[in-house]
Chains A and B, each alone.
Chain A
Amino acid sequence: MEISGADLVRAAALLGAGLAMGFGAIGPGVGEGYAAGQACSAIGRNPREAGLLTRTMLVGQAVSESTGIYSLVVALLLIFVV
């Protein structure tokens, strides 16, 4: 089997893309889940403020998502651009 250097580079880029998105998905999953759980318990304490608390949860989860988006961007760059 002939393996060309260009093939190896492409293979490494694809492997890197998988690792980037794979590991990168861990953090936002854990962080956003924790935020959601705490939001539920906060609403349990104060159900009248459910609207405010839900909005706060979504804002916090959006910030937590950001590094997951970085991983997605890098993965897509590695697959399609480099």
Chain B
Amino acid sequence: MISGIELLVDGASYLGAGLCIGFGAIGAAVGEGYAAGHANQAASRLPERSGDIIKNMLIGQAVAESAGIFALVVAMLLMFMSFPEGAMSATSLIAAGLCMGLGAIGSGVGSGFPAGEACEGMARQPSVMGQITTNMLIGSAVCQTPAIFAMVVSFMLMFIPFGDRSVNPNIAAIMGAGLSTGLAAIGSGLGGGLAAGGSCQAVARQPLALGRVTTTMLVGQAVSQTPAIFGLLISFVLMFKIFPPAETIVTASALLSAGVCMGLGGIGPGLGNGLAAVDAVAWVGRNEEAAGVLTRIMLVGQAVSQSTAIYAMVVALVLIFVV
């Protein structure tokens, strides 16, 4: 009924490319819009320095754009490179597109937060524009790491030869691997960005607290990145463990479910860790002596909000190894 089935891989690569840039365009645009909005607020407060404020906005937007560029690169590779034939290859291309597309959302939006807050901070404290920009760049760069994880998994899905594995259940494992990192990166990107935004606010309020603010921001961001790391871990397990052939769809369903479980399960905790960090870091700027207490309580709070990500990872591992 269907002839020329070997062209399936081409069709899958086009579908994957569409999904990749479709999802990937969302995050960077929202983040850049946020940055533009707050840059405008800053310019209205301090019109004489609007040139510097707009320059800073453009720098911050450029970092947010990088997540979108990753997605564009993967989409172009999917459209114009040739890939080996077969159902496994086709699935891995769709998974690669989904992974990079979804993974770019969080980092794109997240990198917009420090850009916007940095511009507002410059209007408050024009004398420390250089320090604010530096802090913004450090925070934004860490915020891009989930998108980079997603790109790494996406490249692995495109270039590792899966063709010699049995279709059932490895085809589900491949799709699960893509979804695991792609979805989990959303939460971590947003959370890391929130923490970076809080630090730009804090530096503007109290430039002398720069060291403590940056340290607290990095600690908060590090914890926020952990759901993306869990997602990456489950993706690696699903990609590198060669599952023995199965007769029913039960194993396949379990593997796909494991990927979806870890992916979705990383969104909330990543965002929540960021929500915990943003106020902690902002208040270090207002009350530098309380930095120790603030960091401790931030970590306690983040550990509790992390709990459901750990449950998700446990369930994912059970689905992979026990079922």
Contacts and interface: CB of A to CB of B under 8 A. Distances in A.
18 contacts: A4-B4, A5-B8, A8-B4, A9-B10, A9-B14, A12-B15, A19-B15, A19-B18, A27-B30, A28-B25, A30-B26, A42-B40, A49-B44, A52-B47, A56-B39, A66-B29, A67-B65, A74-B72
B2 A63 contact: no
Interface string B67-98: 01001100110011000000000000000000
Contact of B3 (A2, A31, A82): A2
A8 B3 CA distance: 9
Interface size class of B (residues with CB under 8 A): 35 or more
Interface of B: 1-8, 10-12, 14-19, 21-41, 43-45, 47, 50, 53-54, 57-58, 61, 65, 68, 71-72, 75-76, 79-80, 101, 108, 112
A54 B28 CA distance: 22
B25 A5 contact: no
A37 B40 CA distance: 10
A45 B47 CA distance: 12
B1 A3 contact: yes
A27 B27 contact: yes
B21 A6 contact: no
B14 A6 contact: no
Contact of A61 (B25, B30, B33): B33
Contacts of B33: 27-28, 30-35, 60-61, 64
Nearest to B29: A27
A24 B36 contact: no
Contacts of B72: 67, 70, 74
Interface string A64-79: 1111101100110110
Nearest to B61: A63
Given A38-B40, A66-B68, A74-B79, A16 B19 contact: yes
A12 B9 CA distance: 10
Contacts of A35: 33-34, 36-37, 40
A46 B76 CA distance: 44
Given A5-B5, A61-B36, A74 B18 contact: yes
Given A53-B43, A56-B43, A12 B3 contact: no
B47 A39 contact: no
Contact of A46 (B14, B44, B71): B44
A74 B28 contact: no
B118 to A, nearest CB: 14
A77 B79 contact: yes
Contact of B50 (A6, A26, A39, A52): A52
A63 B40 contact: no
A46 B4 contact: no
A9 B68 contact: no
B63 to A, nearest CB: 12
Q: Which of B5, B8, B15, B18 has the most CB of A within 10 A?
A: B18
Nearest to B58: A63
Given A6-B4, A59-B54, A60-B36, A18 B28 contact: no
A27 B25 contact: yes
| 5 shortest interchain CB distances as A-B pairs | A31-B33, A60-B36, A5-B4, A16-B18, A38-B37
A70 B39 CA distance: 24
A38 B41 CA distance: 6
B45 A8 contact: no
Contacts of B50: 49, 52, 56
B68 A78 contact: no
Contacts of A66: 28-29, 32, 65, 68
A27 to B, nearest CB: 3
A31 B75 contact: no
Given A12-B12, A42-B43, A56-B54, A74 B37 contact: no
